[in-house]
Structure 1
Amino acid sequence: MLIKKVALQGVSLAWLALPLANAWYCPPPGPVLPAAKSPSTSPHIKEAIDDLFAALKLVSETWYPNTAISVAAKSLHEETPFISHHIYPIGGLNTSGVAAIDEETVYRVSSVSKLFPVLALLRLGVSLEDPVIKYLPELRSIRVAEAPDAITTVDWEHITIGMLASHMSGIAAEYAVDLAAVPFDLGPAFQALDEKSFPPCAVTGLNPETLPRCTRADFFRDFGVRHPVFAPGTAPVYSNIGIFLLSLVVEVVSKTPYDTFIQQNILGPLGMTNTTTGAAPDVSYGAIAVNHTSWGLDLGFENPSGGFYSNTKDLLAFGNAILEYKLLDPVTTRKWLSPVAFTDSSGVMVGYSWEIMRTKNITGDGRIIPANYKSGHLPGYQAALILVPDYDLVLTILVAGPLHEATESLLQHFGSRFIERMVPPLEQAAKDDALIRYGGIYSDPASNSTLRIELDHGPGLSLTELTVRGTNLLVDPFGKPARIRLYPSNLKTKGREAWRSITSTLTDEEVETIESGLIWEQGTCPTLGTLDRRGYGYKSLDEFIFELDASGSVKSLNYRALGVNFEKNQASPKTQQQEPTEDLVILLRALLVKLESK
């Protein structure tokens, strides 16, 4: 039976834009274009790298003359790193270690170690929703020092594997780190305690003359005297103990010692031959500060939380394997890399052992760029493994030096500067690739239909012309233009790629007016609620499918909802132009004033 249709004069895709609900540049989370396939050949990347190296050399010689620094970066799409830069400090290092710094030089990577217990459990198929007592029922029997209640006793029954992995369990941060064990006078405010009032052990190397290394038995005997910090699921508390417990779960499930499991299932298969899980490598391989700092410091049962040693070569291989789905399937990997909870910082969220940094200040369109960041800090050592999935980028920074130089602040600043300088040229390289691959005029002469895709300074692909059966779909009945951008959906086969469109009829001025009346940032970005809202014959009006030939080149664009397949005719006549700099704008304005005065 045919359904009678009411003719609507001038129906357009502007109808997809819900009223007062669509700001310009509100892409869905994730990459807005496929990542550049050969960033090392991009002149934009090369220029940024030269600038970074020059700045790093100056900073090293001026403020960090006794600190070794290794920085490396790699694209998922290239075999070799496009950055591998190493600085031997002008002030020198301890002669027991390396005499030159390179990709093989070993550093302590401290809390980067925390990624491995979580990864191991995911590889073993353990659910993040499982209660920890399913695997460690002995936690129920941990001794408590006071009458058990919600304040004095950890609620182990409701703590899950995922809560421990994301620091959301609410349990205490430490066990062995206790000021009462430090052989220093803390002043009259601290009363003297007898030896039964603090842990009978410590991190070996901290005060080895008085206390032995902490063991698992020490933990299960005494940890219960520590009060919980929060109720489970309340707020994140960065806990070394939580990660240690996950390593015990690895042993229970795998029936293998933790170190052995990590070596056999992660380090070995990835060729991470210079990475160890707690035992210090031969000192001759290490970047050792003049005063030794924490090289060789044994963290005891907390080694899974911070005891690893590694180098840039191994960490790049590890990060690359994560993004290439060599360690976990794609769905599990994406879940592992996703945020779990907010922190006290609007720019930082916690994930399953990751810190997820978010910034919107480094691309021209101002969109949010997330980075999966895992940093580590021990006296004299700083380390970071950073993944930027939107650009298929792996970055690692390793630092070794005296305490006053090798600081957490140094690592944070280095990480910020590298992301800040590398993302814009990676963005430009992706645009250059996309212009060739997707940009151009597409048409279906039989139906009098034409479509044009251009690359500009916004995110994704700009759909600047869309005529179907002689009807312009980019203008509403009132003559107001619709702006449409296409974004990848991560749904693809060997010969097809599905993209989704975001449509807006609001002007920049209208967006600003609406935003000014809201107390939350970017409140006019409702992509969550507007995607896939309109359909026609079971086909979404915002779905576009690129058809590829045998070489992977785009041959057509299928608009399923309206039954049109646009063949790609030619490259886009419009190429990207660089945004004029502020100085250039001032110069042009001055020139115009001068011309008008003549």
Structure 2
Amino acid sequence: MLSQDPATATWHTPVYSNEALQLLGWAYENITGESMEDGFKTSILEPLGLSRSFWSPPKDDPNANVVELDPSTMKDLVGYDFEEGLATYTPTGGIYSSLGDLSAIGRSILSSSLLPPSTTREWLRPITHSQHTHTAIGRPWEIFRMDLPFTPGSEQTRLVDIYAKNGGVAAYLTYLILSPDHDIGFTLMVASKTSFSGDGDLDSTFNILSELLLEKWVPAAEAAAREAAGDDLAGTYVAEDGSDSTVELALVPGRLGLTVMKFVYNGTDFFATVGENLGFQGADLQFMGLKDQGEASFRAVFSNIESESSGRASVVGKKCGWTWGSAGWFTYGNAALDEVVYTLDADGKAAAVSFPALRLKLVKTSKEEANGGGDSRTASQEL
């Protein structure tokens, strides 16, 4: 390897390398003093109770359902002998497994059963981008960004990151696909002479099946999450102390999160007074991934008062959103004005909503009958 020319400068562009993973396997063994096979067993197989995953091919195993392939009908390398194994190449993705075990690994990642949740969130992140606008690279994730309609048939979309890892040898291919936004995943195994052409053929069995999974299940999960958010969180809330304060929350087509339809604070229209002075005219609530002891934290994403357009198109195409840079800008009494906390009952349904900066808690009195849609990452899988 040292005699070969480098493919690219370091930190210049992403390049996939099996040899890099092979080297990492050796590094693991040198650092820990145990073999990768033993580490795989004690760190993953035993904690998850997996019995159908193997570091080396299971030989003479009556429970191993191996699809036999005829080498004479396939291209070069497609007739891979299942019993050969990959030796020191195994850390590159040479594990032999079942759909059930792979599904268990996917559920473990989504639920953080082996790792702290903060570590899982850090892991499920891009490390770099590619030349494609909807593709990024993680460790070791292949990340695809799906445009999901706010509501079925809507022209407005939001991006959803799909974290996937594929691998295999020749005609034996495997896919683990996760959608952390929706807390769902898929596993796919294919053994066929049409599995994959090697040139990105969209008509290969592997690609057709993975496309069908994503096309059908991710939008369905989005719709189910939206419906759950409306049922659990939308409604009318009145002040617990009996003051003239009311909040109405609903899902609105074309809006992200739960929209604040009405906010009266001590008899005053909050957005008509405070909002006008601070430069915003409305707000949508979005879940921030924080929940504890029956409470869930949201942030209000304020919509700005519209100004007359200059007619000039953005240099970078779509206007870049800056909501990530405005969280907690305005504070009062050491609490952020955009902080909103839901109190949830045992079933995960909202019983009350609090605005810490205003020292205001409101209890739920009714649910909005018409929740037209909108993005529901506000609650979805978390609540």
Which bracket does the TM-score occupy, shorter chain normalised? 0.7 to 0.9
Deviations 1:370-389 (A, max 9, x none): 01110114211221101100
Secondary structure of the residue aligned to 2:189 is strand
Q: Give me the whole-angstrom Cα distance separating, in 2, the residues matched to 1:552 and 1:306.
A: 39
1:319–1:387: 8 Å Cα contact kept in structure 2? Answer: yes
Please point out which of 290, 293, 310 is paired with 2:70: 290
- The 3 A distance-change label for structure 1 pair 394 and 328 is same
2:251–2:373: 8 Å Cα contact kept in structure 1? Answer: no
1:440–1:452: 8 Å Cα contact kept in structure 2? Answer: yes
Match of 2:257 in 1: 460
Match of 1:366 in 2: 157
Do structure 1's residue 257 and structure 2's residue 35 form an aligned pair? yes
Give the drift of 1:451. Answer: 0.2
1:277–1:304: 8 Å Cα contact kept in structure 2? Answer: no
2:172–2:195: 8 Å Cα contact kept in structure 1? Answer: no
Number of matched residues?
Answer: 351
1:363–1:423: 8 Å Cα contact kept in structure 2? Answer: no
Match of 1:543 in 2: 339
Do structure 1's residue 415 and structure 2's residue 210 form an aligned pair? yes
Give the drift of 1:341. Answer: 0.6
1:382–1:398: 8 Å Cα contact kept in structure 2? Answer: yes
Do structure 1's residue 443 and structure 2's residue 242 form an aligned pair? no
> Aligned partner of 1:289: which letter?
L
Please point out which of 335, 350, 353 is paired with 2:122: 335
Give the drift of 1:312. Answer: 1.2
Query: Higher helix proportion, which one?
Result: 1
Q: Give me the whole-angstrom Cα distance separating, in 2, the residues matched to 1:326 and 1:515.
A: 51
2:259–2:283: 8 Å Cα contact kept in structure 1? Answer: yes
- The 3 A distance-change label for structure 1 pair 281 and 331 is farther
Match of 2:45 in 1: 267
| Aligned positions of 1:11-410 closer than 5 A | 223-282=1-60, 285-291=65-71, 293-294=79-80, 295-364=82-151, 365-402=156-193, 404-407=194-197, 409=201, 410=204
Q: Give me the whole-angstrom Cα distance separating, in 1, the residues matched to 2:229 and 2:21.
A: 42
Q: Give me the whole-angstrom Cα distance separating, in 1, the residues matched to 2:370 and 2:107.
A: 35
Give the drift of 1:443. Answer: 0.7
- The 3 A distance-change label for structure 1 pair 272 and 363 is farther
Please point out which of 318, 321, 328 is paired with 1:525: 321
Q: Give me the whole-angstrom Cα distance separating, in 1, the residues matched to 2:310 and 2:334.
A: 33
Q: Give me the whole-angstrom Cα distance separating, in 2, the residues matched to 1:276 and 1:560.
A: 52
1:399–1:406: 8 Å Cα contact kept in structure 2? Answer: no
Give the drift of 1:517. Answer: 1.7
Q: Give me the whole-angstrom Cα distance separating, in 1, the residues matched to 2:247 and 2:128.
A: 42
> Aligned partner of 1:503: which letter?
F
Do structure 1's residue 428 and structure 2's residue 223 form an aligned pair? yes
Q: Give me the whole-angstrom Cα distance separating, in 2, the residues matched to 1:329 and 1:253.
A: 22
Give the drift of 1:319. Answer: 0.5
Match of 1:482 in 2: 281
> Aligned partner of 2:224: which letter?
A
- The 3 A distance-change label for structure 1 pair 228 and 577 is closer
Match of 2:380 in 1: none
Greater relative CO (CA pairs within 8 A, separation 6+): 1
> Aligned partner of 1:546: which letter?
Y
Give the drift of 1:567. Answer: 1.0
Secondary structure of the residue aligned to 2:162 is strand
TM-score with structure 2 setting the length: 0.84
Q: Give me the whole-angstrom Cα distance separating, in 2, the residues matched to 1:477 and 1:554.
A: 29
List alignment gaps of at least 5 residues for structure 1.
1-222, 579-598
Secondary structure of the residue aligned to 1:308 is coil
Deviations 1:410-435 (A, max 9, x none): 33343233212212221121122112
Query: Higher strand proportion, which one?
Result: 2
Q: Give me the whole-angstrom Cα distance separating, in 2, the residues matched to 1:281 and 1:311.
A: 15
**RMSD (CA atoms):** 2.5
Deviations 1:49-70 (A, max 9, x none): xxxxxxxxxxxxxxxxxxxxxx
Q: Give me the whole-angstrom Cα distance separating, in 2, the residues matched to 1:490 and 1:439.
A: 18
| Percent identical | 26
Deviations 1:266-323 (A, max 9, x none): 1222122111123355475212233372223433321210322212111110000111
1:275–1:309: 8 Å Cα contact kept in structure 2? Answer: yes
- The 3 A distance-change label for structure 1 pair 372 and 282 is farther
Match of 1:497 in 2: 296
Deviations 1:90-139 (A, max 9, x none): xxxxxxxxxxxxxxxxxxxxxxxxxxxxxxxxxxxxxxxxxxxxxxxxxx
1:500–1:543: 8 Å Cα contact kept in structure 2? Answer: yes
1:371–1:386: 8 Å Cα contact kept in structure 2? Answer: yes
TM-score with structure 1 setting the length: 0.55
Q: Give me the whole-angstrom Cα distance separating, in 2, the residues matched to 1:524 and 1:374.
A: 29
